[in-house]
Structure 1
Amino acid sequence: MSEEALWFLLVGVLLMFVALARGPIARLPLTGAMIYLAVGVVVGPGVLGLVHADLADNASTLAVLAEAGLVISLFSVGMHLRVRLLDPLWILPLRLGVLAMAISVALMFGFGLAMGAAPGVALFLAAALAPTDPVLANELRVQEAGDAEPVRFALSGEGGLNDGAALPFALLGLALCGVHVTGMANAATFALSLVWGVAGALLVGAVLATLCVRLVFHLRTRYGEAVGLDGFIAIGLMSVAYGTALLLHAYAFVAVFAAGVALRHEELRATGERRPAETLETIQLGERVEAAKDPQRAHVLLAESMTGFTLEIERFAELSVLLIIGCVVSAHWREMLDWRAVSFALVLVFVVRPLAVLVSMIGARADSRQRCLMAWMGIRGVGAFYYAVWGLAEAGDVLRPVLPAALDAIVISVLLHGSTAGYVLGRYYRHEDARRARERARGKAAA
């Protein structure tokens, strides 16, 4: 049997297995990410050898693939966060996605220097390991648009924010490694590029998403045009936002996330507090075309159609990138066993992440259970892999030590967090349900 046929067979069986066994997988300490990663390891050079080459030798290609997966996921996460921009709930993901991420970079940078790494390598490694992952955190994400449960909202928003927030630290690390980076001539230009990188990205994402939604709404409700192909609109918007931000030297990951948030905010502004699912319940399948032209329902139908589409392609992106990561793990497992690489991953998961979250949450509106859950659930995955292979593509062997450390962090996180997520979240939700029941009982007794 040819290698091509084996690949078609493998991917087909894997897709059907995950779809058909979704229920049992959800009931076990198991996730799709764990399955994809394990299959990638098995088919890689270290076991069956269906992938003969070391994929890390094509770092630029891997970076583009991981980059595409992140763009899709960041846009999807943004569209799920259906909370008004001035709502205090946004403080939680801002604390995690910016403050906790910066603390993580500082702590990991210090640990890297203590381990004898060069300053540039230590800083780039810290930046690569600091972001949590928006692709693999499906169990932790908000369940639907309008879900305002604090832990889910905080972890979802964090995953959307910190992949872009880590970029300036990674760029500074590259500059320290001798790579020419625009905007790194001196402290003033770096500060200016940092401010513009964030502000420009937010502006690009918000403006493009708002213009896109209003144009589509106008065409549909006024002329009955541009109906259907909402998936094309979703891919087009995320691609335009990402490309425009890159051209303007803004932080493109932030721009894509901002576009998703702005698109959802347009729907929230137009339709009010009623959840989108409640509105869609009244639309029959054969009425969707007419509903798309209805000014009262056009916004919610567009937003929900785009959200559903991006969720589907996000699952394909997760499978593809995790298979690739598994193949790279299969080729580099010996380097991953080096005690220095393992120590970076263990310190990150068991020391740096909990400490960074607990410090960043001082004074926040979150109880001890919520803080502990956020401190534990810092999943690393596609974001860390992207930065590791992007660093290889930019700086070559200077940043070679980053790859095994990043792979160790991914494997440990996928296995450890994936196997414990269901249990710890289940305990938390049961506690919250019991607390709300007690509050209702006290309220009835008082009445």
Structure 2
Amino acid sequence: MSLPHWTVFIGVLLLSLVLLGTWLQRLPLSSAMVYLALGWVLGPDALGLLTPDPIRHAALMEPFAEAALLISLFASGLHLGAPLTSRRWWLPLRLASLSLVALVGLVAAVGTWVLGLPLGAAVLLGAILAPTDPVLASGVPAESGVRPDRLGFSLAGEGALNDGAAYPFVLLGLGLLATGQPAQGWDRWWYVDVLWSSGAGLLIGALLGASIGRLVVHLRGRHRQALGLDVFLGLGLIALSHGLAQLVQASGFLAVFASGLALQRVGERPRAGSQPLGGSPAGQLHGYATLSIHSHHASAAMRGAVQLFNGQLEKVAELVLVLFVGGMLGYARWTPHVLWFVPLLLLVLRPLSVAPALWGERLAPGQAPMLAWFGIRGIGSLYYLLLVLRHGVDAPLASLLVSLTLWTVASSIVLHGITARPFMRRYLAVRRRMPRSGASV
């Protein structure tokens, strides 16, 4: 189609989603399922208007997948409000470490012993499919506030943390595939790619988010400066934290997530002798212009504005990337391996990998099976697939990685999208009958 045709199509699509949004929410479908189906209709298997060949166009599409992933990680950091000292963080940390390592190992074992892959290729497959998606897990909502329900909080935290934690295993797989060991040796992989990359990335993001957030709040509340342009504040933090982390060989993904976490925790800096605005909580009866320069409300106004814009940007990124996943399915060969590998991963390997993280945790009824089931694959897996394809692997391996990854992501979007609402209704019904104790929920 020509550019005018595409602009008309995009305009009709976006306006249709607005006008039909309420009706679509009543259907047992997630928004990602709608985007996926539409992408397939536009793709080479149907209309042929969208032809995103993942092997030929990996270098072109990888930056878009990375940008979408960064936006979702920053949004997750802004949303997860539990104090960093809260015990609620232990479970997502264990899911993003113990469970991720377990899943990479389980998939690598299947790849080596059943698919007949060399060890490096099997590790690559595990690393690509290990990350879960905090955006597509929106059917299991993560509550804001300091005492959120552990289910949604843990899934969102896991999805944000393991997107960065999977990167060293991608590097490990590429090194094993090329030379039989990590690119520059095992010591460097462990100390630099794992320990330094994770720790430095989190530290850089935390320092930037906290310092810039506090500076903006100080300038607004004390000097009525740095007003507006909250759009640039969020994008600037994403770009700066990611770029600085990359310059020192740290994890840009974890840096962006940590910057959102730190910005969310910037406190108010009230003037001596001043009083908060009256009316509803946090001065909600007052406009943004008044709240943003008031020393009791400047931080909340800043966070609200950044969250609003970043949330909308996240929806656009989800639409574009899942449309492309639907279009890419035309290039994912439907092989016999897909028929058994996808259910094995979602129904067996994911629950097995979660078990070490849940050991010793005091969970409310229904939380353990929900955590085992909702390991949704999405943008993280797509990004790492494109990264591996851009680095170059032989044609048979590239074809296998494309097929298994894309059909896993598509199946996850459909299965988890269909089951999210009924499973959540049942879980919430059980939760309402339970006393709300700090350890169990």
Q: TM-score, normalised by structure 2?
A: 0.91
* SS of the residue 1:8 aligns to: helix
Q: Deviations over 1:321-380 (max 9, x none)?
A: 111111111233xx1x11223433221101011111133201112134101011111110
Describe the shift of the 1:381–1:268 C-alpha distance in structure 2 as closer, same or farther (beyond 3 A).
farther
Structure 1 stretch displaced more, 258-267 or 241-250: 258-267
Q: Deviations over 1:371-408 (max 9, x none)?
A: 10111111101111111111000123364021111001
Query: Which runs of 4 or more aligned residues in structure 1 lie more than 3 Å from their structure 2 counterparts after TM superposition?
Result: 143-147, 267-270, 278-281
CA distance in 2, matches of 1:308, 1:179: 47
Q: Which position in structure 2 is the counterpart of 1:189?
A: 188
Mapping of residues 283-362 of structure 1, within 5 Å: 283-285=285-287, 288-332=288-332, 335=333, 337-362=334-359
Q: Which position in structure 2 is the counterpart of 1:247?
A: 247
CA distance in 1, matches of 2:207, 2:170: 27
Q: Out of 371, 385, 388, which is 2:385 matched to?
A: 388
Q: Deviations over 1:49-71 (max 9, x none)?
A: 11256354110121111100000
Q: Which position in structure 2 is the counterpart of 1:274?
A: none
Q: Deviations over 1:65-111 (max 9, x none)?
A: 11000000000001101111110011121121221111111111111
Report the Cα offset of residue 26 of structure 1: 2.4
CA distance in 1, matches of 2:11, 2:209: 35
Structure 1 stretch displaced more, 323-332 or 11-20: 11-20
RMSD (Å) for aligned C-alpha atoms: 2.4
* SS of the residue 1:249 aligns to: coil
The answer to whether residue 152 in structure 2 is matched with residue 167 in structure 1 is no
Q: Which position in structure 1 is the counterpart of 2:93?
A: 94
Mapping of residues 70-219 of structure 1, within 5 Å: 70-115=69-114, 116-146=116-146, 148-178=148-178, 184-193=183-192, 194-219=194-219
* 8 A contact 1:3–1:50 mirrored in 2: no
* SS of the residue 1:46 aligns to: coil
Identity among equivalent positions (%) equals 35
Amino acid at match of 2:232: F
Unaligned 5+ residue runs, structure 1? 271-277, 440-447
Describe the shift of the 1:299–1:431 C-alpha distance in structure 2 as closer, same or farther (beyond 3 A).
same
* 8 A contact 2:70–2:238 mirrored in 1: yes
Q: Which position in structure 1 is the counterpart of 2:273?
A: none
Amino acid at match of 2:109: G
Report the Cα offset of residue 23 of structure 1: 2.7
The answer to whether residue 405 in structure 2 is matched with residue 409 in structure 1 is no
* SS of the residue 1:393 aligns to: helix
Q: Which position in structure 2 is the counterpart of 1:4?
A: 3
Describe the shift of the 1:41–1:179 C-alpha distance in structure 2 as closer, same or farther (beyond 3 A).
farther
* SS of the residue 2:56 aligns to: helix
CA distance in 2, matches of 1:341, 1:101: 22
* SS of the residue 2:57 aligns to: helix
Aligned residues: 427
Q: Deviations over 1:162-219 (max 9, x none)?
A: 00011111110011121899x7322221111111001110111001111111111121
The answer to whether residue 35 in structure 2 is matched with residue 36 in structure 1 is yes
Describe the shift of the 1:53–1:252 C-alpha distance in structure 2 as closer, same or farther (beyond 3 A).
closer
Q: Which position in structure 2 is the counterpart of 1:372?
A: 369
Name the one with the larger helix percent.
Answer: 1
* 8 A contact 1:133–1:380 mirrored in 2: yes
Report the Cα offset of residue 144 of structure 1: 3.7
Unaligned 5+ residue runs, structure 2? 271-279
* 8 A contact 2:52–2:327 mirrored in 1: no
Report the Cα offset of residue 313 of structure 1: 0.2
Structure 1 stretch displaced more, 63-72 or 184-193: 184-193
Describe the shift of the 1:340–1:427 C-alpha distance in structure 2 as closer, same or farther (beyond 3 A).
same
CA distance in 1, matches of 2:57, 2:145: 38
Amino acid at match of 2:408: A
Describe the shift of the 1:407–1:147 C-alpha distance in structure 2 as closer, same or farther (beyond 3 A).
farther
CA distance in 2, matches of 1:56, 1:267: 47
Report the Cα offset of residue 281 of structure 1: 5.4
* SS of the residue 2:393 aligns to: helix
Q: Deviations over 1:253-309 (max 9, x none)?
A: 111111111111224899xxxxxxx74453423xx2221111111111111111111
CA distance in 1, matches of 2:141, 2:250: 27
Q: TM-score, normalised by structure 1?
A: 0.90
